[in-house]
Amino acid sequence: MTDRRVLLVVNPANDQAHMVLAQVTSALADAGIATSMTTEDAADLAAHRAPALDARTQIVESTEDSANGADVVVVIGGDGTVLRAAERARNSGVPLFAVNLGHVGFLAEAEREDVTDVVDAIVHRRWVVEERMTMAVRVTRNGDSVHETWALNEAALEKVARQHIIDIVVEIDGRPLSRWGCDGVVAATPTGSTAYAFSAGGPVVWPEVSALLVVPLSAHALFSRPLVVAPTSTVAFELGEGDQAVLSADGRRTIDLQGGSRIEVRQDPRPVRFARLATAPFTDRLVAKFDLPVQGWRGRRPEGA
């Protein structure tokens, strides 16, 4: 056994993921590569009555540094599992190698049938790294900092009471832009442009573009179009007095907010890194994941196609 190690993050509720986990663990062990899993993830697997982990899999503490010392983090599941894995890997800069077992799996590199290729790439250290920008999110009230978090996809500020809209003043780079009576607002990265922001009517932004997106949710205002601002910008939302809202980062980390809260969003210097089997145009990923109609195209075909 070498000193190489791979951290495993799995969707515990997916029976197919249990089988893929066993396949990956066994293949890596046969190649002399150790595997590990966090205490939290191991407990979740046991709670879902998954088969026992391979005895060779090491259990490590569940922290933001769980991936320290690992070559890669292998993610087996959908985009939600990838977002959970990103929490384990971002601090250490270890890339995520994601096998999609979800519906769309926009963040994943491979499908179920490609697992052997992923293992082979890990064994022979054959992958390319793609960096995705993240956002730093800070909440203040009366000038005092009350909460800080980050997001790979988006930070969503949404109303609590279904029957009431909330009042939000939008600020860009220290200057007020507009006031919206709305259901909420989404601040997103290019990676998140195909997630919640897309569902809310925002544009698709290629991941090579450095930018922040602002997408209002059912805003009652004349000027309420999605915005694309510079990556150097600071976007702020001020919640009206008397309003109640919830702030969610990637749908995973949430905080309840009272009226008068201020939410600031800016680019975070720490990206999330993804391992890819090969470089490929984002256009091809978009077509494949959304099953877009491209019949009749007469452009140049890739060599060998």
State the CB neighbour count (10 A cutoff) for residue 26: 14
Domain for residue 142, yes or no?
yes
Q: Calculate the CA 295 to chain-centre distance.
A: 31
Q: What share of the chain is helix, strand, coil (3-state, %, to 5)?
A: 20, 40, 40
Domain for residue 169, yes or no?
yes
Domain CATH number, residue 91: 3.40.50.10330
The ranges of the chain with pLDDT < 70 are 1-2, 301-305
Closest to 106 measured CA to CA, from 135, 76, 78: 78
Q: Enumerate the active-site residues.
A: 79
Residues near 138 by beta carbon (within 8 Å), at least 6 away in sequence: 145, 147, 148, 263, 264
User: Same domain for 62 and 151?
Assistant: no
How far apart CA 263 and CA 166 sit, in angstroms, is 14
Closest to 258 measured CA to CA, from 154, 166, 135, 153: 166
DSSP type of residue 299: S
User: Same domain for 107 and 147?
Assistant: no
Domain for residue 305, yes or no?
no
Work out the burial of residue 82: count CB atoms within 10 Å of its CB; fewer than 13 is exposed, 13-18 middle, 19 or more buried.
Answer: buried
Q: What is the pLDDT of residue 304?
A: 59
Q: What is the pLDDT of residue 55?
A: 85
- Helix/strand/coil (H/E/C) assignment for every residue in 111-174: EHHHHHHHHHHHHCCCCEEEEEEEEEEEEEECCEEEEEEEECCEEEEEECCCCCCEEEEEEECC
User: Same domain for 52 and 75?
Assistant: yes
Q: Write out the residue range of the structural domain in which residue 91 sits.
A: 5-127+277-290
Q: What is the pLDDT of residue 300?
A: 73
Domain for residue 301, yes or no?
no
User: Same domain for 249 and 218?
Assistant: yes
Domain CATH number, residue 252: 2.60.200.30
Number of domains comprising the chain: 2
User: Same domain for 158 and 117?
Assistant: no
Q: What is the pLDDT of residue 86?
A: 97
**Token output for 292:** 């877009």
User: Same domain for 110 and 178?
Assistant: no
Residues 190, 211 contacting (CB under 8 angstroms)? yes
Q: What is the pLDDT of residue 1?
A: 54
